[in-house]
């Protein structure tokens, strides 16, 4: 035995399955317990696979700055390949995948973001137009509908958005079933969920391919190409000058939708829950909203990015309720060293925004919702979107979208809780942390 | 004034170039992965401070910082 330091092992492992049952019951709470018991590095076991929670800004920085050939994102996320398709993301060679994310970054440049801001603002206005003076709504589902509209519009353009039916959302839900925690641990299982997933994926391929072909025909007729992500993906070129195979474009759309759909809609819902719980902060936000939007202002890209109060509020919501509670990497090629520990090849390194955002050294009194908190100096302390080269490329788009939704809402309504404030709990039916069902809130027209 | 770029964090969103094109430009990377920021001038003068501060603030990845 070497005298190298080793991470402490989390208590409570069961024969054969390890910590699987507790992890499955509520992964966020399990990981938080792991950190409290073991500190910065906590080793646990899921069905024989070794996992190490890397908790803390320094540990996260070490993982996020490590190159792909040392810690791999592709290895632990192979279960996404049937969802996005062969040839896409981790179903493609690393150098292809790196270029595909560049296509996404290109589709999110300022010129395009300015157009998306207009699209989102219009969709949000239309969505709330018939809400009346007051009412109660289930905000989780409300924002799912809203984000589906805004996202498909920005991604696929006006024509696709106008033809959008409920089927698209249903198919998407079927695909998502494939990332339930069961699927993550045993993705080769023959469960019904996987048959459904493959069926839904095939149908989405047809629907999206039809839109791709329509666009290609419009381009061929010489029509002005619209500013949306579909066009951006069609125009994108790999380093060798080649375009993406058209059949892969639906996979790109599904991939970017997957990243942005529930994460954004959940975040919008959590923001509204926290607004309803904290009338004093809601008033501050309303003041800021009125200043930019009250007097004939618009929800432009430029005005939305100058909202410090809203930003503080959104950051604090993402701190306490990060939609993705684990981000995984796997050690590949050679052991990964951190502070004298050596993690052998095959070890899964787990980064948890949920845990990281509750470390008292960066966030004093961590359970307290405080939108006036100072942002930690450490670049890797706050990681709702991950970090480093593999940080969520849609992070600025997510902010734009949620700010646009909240600004439009608060310019018309005040929000309040229907149920006791503490009854809105964190639940995780999938790997995404969401507010408990039903997430009912009351909206009341503001007296101006 | 010195400006620092952290290329481990940059994903080529181009907000800096949009905000302060005198100081930042986005260039293609060798391997076809994310484009990345490059400084147009190494030591911009004080007159540009306000614009650079905006660029730092608007970077979605906190890839930029001012030194001094």
A2 within some domain: no
Alpha-carbon dihedral sign for residues A81, A83, A85, A89 = negative
DSSP string covering A154-211, please? HHH-HHHHHH--HHHHHHHHHHHGGGSHHHHH-TT---HHHHHHHHHHHHHHHHHHHH
Q: State how far the Cα of A170 lies from the Cα of A155, in Å rounded to an integer.
A: 18
Pairing assessment for the beta strands A8-9 and B24-27 based on DSSP bridges: unpaired
A399 within some domain: yes
CA A301 to chain centre: 21
Q: Is A102's CB within 8 Å of B33's CB?
A: yes
Q: State how far the Cα of A172 lies from the Cα of A165, in Å rounded to an integer.
A: 12
Q: State how far the Cα of A42 lies from the Cα of A170, in Å rounded to an integer.
A: 38
Q: What is the pLDDT of residue A183?
A: 61
For A360, the token pair is: 């008292």
Helix (H) or strand (E) run with residue A271 in it: helix A249-277
The whole domain housing B33 covers 2-67
Contact status of A388 with chain B (Cβ, < 8 Å): yes
Average pLDDT over every residue of B29-42: 94
DSSP string covering A342-355, please? EEPTTPEEEE-HHH
The whole domain housing A43 covers 8-445
Complex-level ipTM beyond the 0.85 threshold:
yes
- pLDDT higher than 60, residue A18: yes
- Which residue from B9, B34, B62 is facing A105, i.e. has the nearest CB? B34
SS3 percent helix, strand, coil of chain B, rounded to 5, is 25, 25, 50
- pLDDT higher than 90, residue A221: yes
Q: What is the pLDDT of residue A370?
A: 98
pLDDT for A38-60, tens place per residue?
Answer: 999 999 999 999 999 999 999 99
For A274, the token pair is: 């926290």
Query: Which has more pLDDT, A100 or A177?
Result: A100
Q: State how far the Cα of B5 lies from the Cα of B17, in Å rounded to an integer.
A: 13
Q: State how far the Cα of A389 lies from the Cα of A50, in Å rounded to an integer.
A: 25
A1 within some domain: no
Strand, coil or helix: B37: strand
For A81, the token pair is: 């390949």
Q: State how far the Cα of A28 lies from the Cα of A324, in Å rounded to an integer.
A: 10
Q: What is the pLDDT of residue A3?
A: 67
- pLDDT higher than 60, residue A124: yes
For A357, the token pair is: 């955002």
In degrees, to the nearest 5, what angle opens at C-alpha A356 toward C-alphas A355 and A361?
A: 115
Number of domains in chain A: 1
CA A132 to chain centre: 31
A375 within some domain: yes
User: Where does the pLDDT of residue A184 fall: very low under 50, low under 70, confident under 90, or very high at 90 and above?
Assistant: low
Chain A residues in contact with B64 (beta carbon < 8 A): none
Q: Is B8's CB within 8 Å of A388's CB?
A: yes
A279 within some domain: yes
Prior bond to A133 cis, omega within 30?
no
A70 within some domain: yes
Strand, coil or helix: A277: helix
pLDDT for A87-103, tens place per residue?
Answer: 999 999 999 999 999 99
Contact status of B36 with chain A (Cβ, < 8 Å): no
Q: State how far the Cα of A275 lies from the Cα of A413, in Å rounded to an integer.
A: 11
Q: What is the pLDDT of residue A178?
A: 72
Chain B residues in contact with A379 (beta carbon < 8 A): 6, 9, 62
pLDDT for A394-427, tens place per residue?
Answer: 999 999 999 999 999 999 999 999 999 999 999 8
Average pLDDT over every residue of B35-40: 97
A337 within some domain: yes
CATH number at residue B25: 3.30.70.20
- pLDDT higher than 80, residue A429: no
Q: What is the pLDDT of residue A330?
A: 97
User: Where does the pLDDT of residue A2 fall: very low under 50, low under 70, confident under 90, or very high at 90 and above?
Assistant: low
> DSSP assignment, residue A69?
T
Average pLDDT over every residue of B9-28: 96
Q: What is the pLDDT of residue A189?
A: 58
Number of domains in chain B: 1
Q: Which residue has the tokens 């070490």?
A: A62
pLDDT for A261-295, tens place per residue?
Answer: 989 999 999 999 999 999 999 999 999 999 988 77
User: Where does the pLDDT of residue B36 fall: very low under 50, low under 70, confident under 90, or very high at 90 and above?
Assistant: very high
Across-strand partners of B67? B2
A386: left (phi over 0), alpha (psi -120 to 50) or beta: left
Query: Mean pLDDT of all residues in chain A?
Result: 92
Q: How many angstroms away from the CA of B44 is the closest CA of chain A?
A: 23
Helix (H) or strand (E) run with residue A9 in it: strand A8-9
Q: Which residue has the tokens 């699209």?
A: A119
Average pLDDT over every residue of A358-385: 96
Share of chain A above pLDDT 90, in %: 80
User: Where does the pLDDT of residue A191 fall: very low under 50, low under 70, confident under 90, or very high at 90 and above?
Assistant: low
CATH number at residue A438: 1.10.630.10
First to last CA, chain A: 73
Q: State how far the Cα of A315 lies from the Cα of B7, in Å rounded to an integer.
A: 23
Q: How many angstroms away from the CA of A104 is the closest CA of chain B?
A: 9
Q: What is the pTM of this model?
A: 0.95
A3 within some domain: no
Q: Which residue has the tokens 């998306």?
A: A116
Q: What is the pLDDT of residue A186?
A: 57
Q: Is B33's CB within 8 Å of A396's CB?
A: no
Q: Is A101's CB within 8 Å of B13's CB?
A: no
pLDDT for A202-211, tens place per residue?
Answer: 999 999 999 9
């Amino acid at each position: 035995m070497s005298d190298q330091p080793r991470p402490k092992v989390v208590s409570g492992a069961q024969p054969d399955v390890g910590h699987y049952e507790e992890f499955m019951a509520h992964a966020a709470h399990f990981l938080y317990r792991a950190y409290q018991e073991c500190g910065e590095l906590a080793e646990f076991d899921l069905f024989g696979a070794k996992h190490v929670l890397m908790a803390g800004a320094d540990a996260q920085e070490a993982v996020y700055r490590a190159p792909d050939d040392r810690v791999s994102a592709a290895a632990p996320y192979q279960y996404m390949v049937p969802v996005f398709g062969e040839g896409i993301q981790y179903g493609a060679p690393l150098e292809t995948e790196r270029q595909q994310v560049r296509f996404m970054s290109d589709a999110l440049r300022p010129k395009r973001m300015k157009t998306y801001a207009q699209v989102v603002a219009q969709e949000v206005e239309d969505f709330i137009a018939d809400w009346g003076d007051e009412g109660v709504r289930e905000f989780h589902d409300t924002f799912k509908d809203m984000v589906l509209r805004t996202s498909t519009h920005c991604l696929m353009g006006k024509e696709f958005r106008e033809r959008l039916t409920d089927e698209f959302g249903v198919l998407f839900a079927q695909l998502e079933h494939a990332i339930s925690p069961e699927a993550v641990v045993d993705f080769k299982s023959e469960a019904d969920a996987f048959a459904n997933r493959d069926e839904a994926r095939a149908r989405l391929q047809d629907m999206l391919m039809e839109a791709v072909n329509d666009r290609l025909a419009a381009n061929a007729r010489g029509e002005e190409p619209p500013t949306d992500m579909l066009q951006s993906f069609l125009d994108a070129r790999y380093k060798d000058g080649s375009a993406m195979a058209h059949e892969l474009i639906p996979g790109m759309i599904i991939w970017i939708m997957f990243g942005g759909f529930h994460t954004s809609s959940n975040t919008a819902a959590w923001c509204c829950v926290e607004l309803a719980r904290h009338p004093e902060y809601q008033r501050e936000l309303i003041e800021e909203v009125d200043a930019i939007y009250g007097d004939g202002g618009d929800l432009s890209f430029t005005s939305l990015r100058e909202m410090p109060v809203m930003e503080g509020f959104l950051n604090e919501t993402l701190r306490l309720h990060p939609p993705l509670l684990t981000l995984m990497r796997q050690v590949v090629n050679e052991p990964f060293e951190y502070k004298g520990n050596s993690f052998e090849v095959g070890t899964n390194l787990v980064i948890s925004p949920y845990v990281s955002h509750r470390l008292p050294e960066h966030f004093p009194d961590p359970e307290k919702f405080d939108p006036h908190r100072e942002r930690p100096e450490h670049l890797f302390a706050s990681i709702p979107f991950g970090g480093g080269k593999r940080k969520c490329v849609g992070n600025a788009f997510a902010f734009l979208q949620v700010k646009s939704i909240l600004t439009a809402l608060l310019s018309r309504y005040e929000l309040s809780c229907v149920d006791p404030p503490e009854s809105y709990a964190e639940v995780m039916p999938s790997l995404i942390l969401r507010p408990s069902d039903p997430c009912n809130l009351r909206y009341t027209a503001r007296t101006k | 004034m010195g400006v620092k770029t952290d290329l481990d964090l940059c994903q080529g969103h181009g907000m800096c170039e949009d905000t302060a094109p005198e100081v930042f430009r986005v260039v293609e990377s060798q391997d076809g992965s994310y484009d990345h920021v490059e400084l147009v001038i190494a030591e911009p003068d004080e007159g540009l401070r306000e614009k650079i501060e905006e660029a730092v603030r608007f970077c979605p990845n906190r890839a930029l910082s001012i030194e001094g």
